Amino acid sequence: MKRRIVLLIVAALLLVCFAGCQESPVEPVEEYTFTYKNTEVKLNALAAPIVTALGDPFTYSETTSCAFNGLDKTYGYGSFYIQTYPKDGQDYIYRWWFVDDLVANAEGIRITSTKAEVEKAYGTEGFDGKNSYTMKQGNGKLIIILENDAVSSIQYEAIV
């Protein structure tokens, strides 16, 4: 009888030990994206198909890249801008930013949103205590600047 109890205890301990060895599923890391007219813009994505899908920009400029070999290109689409970086002969999405309240991000935050709306969407963890929030997710970061407790700037930037 005593031997049986010892065997049951050992079996239970082994069961508990090996339960922890089970491979846990890997949570996918969400990336920052922005959708405009059914076109998804994603940090570090190949720029050509995105720029083509968005159509002719209202403004376009290029400048010699200070971080890469080639040209940084900026496309202006009225309410937002996209900047690319060159790598291996192709252009990739480096950042985008909003310039007015006609566009919003996936969480509904736009220029003129209140500090309370930003905190409801993102919490307070990324707040610097003064006037900006910086949140990192996947391969990018989101920077929101406030003036008088209202959003004045929204920018997404790749971590490269």
DSSP, res 52: H
pLDDT value at residue 30: 81
Q: Which residues does residue 87 pair with via DSSP β-bridges, in sequence order?
A: 90
- Cα R_g (the chain), whole angstroms: 24
**pLDDT tops 60 at residue 156:** yes
- Name, in order, each residue with C-beta under 8 angstroms of 40's C-beta and a sequence gap of 6 or more: 33, 34, 50
pLDDT value at residue 17: 44
pLDDT value at residue 1: 53
Question: How many residues would you count in the chain?
Answer: 160
Q: Which residues does residue 4 pair with via DSSP β-bridges, in sequence order?
A: none
Contact status, residue 34 vs residue 96, Cβ threshold 8 Å: yes
**3-state secondary structure (DSSP) of residue 133:** strand
**pLDDT tops 90 at residue 5:** no
Contact status, residue 85 vs residue 67, Cβ threshold 8 Å: yes
pTM (global) more than 0.85 = no
Q: Which domains does the chain have, with CATH numbers?
A: 33-158 (3.40.33.10)
- List, for residues 48-83, the tens digit of each pLDDT value: 999 999 999 999 999 999 989 999 999 999 999 999
DSSP 111-122: TT-BHHHHHHHH
Strands 80-87 and 33-36: what pairing? unpaired
**pLDDT tops 60 at residue 21:** no
Q: Which amino acid is at 103?
A: V
The larger pLDDT score, comparing residue 19 to residue 110, is at 110
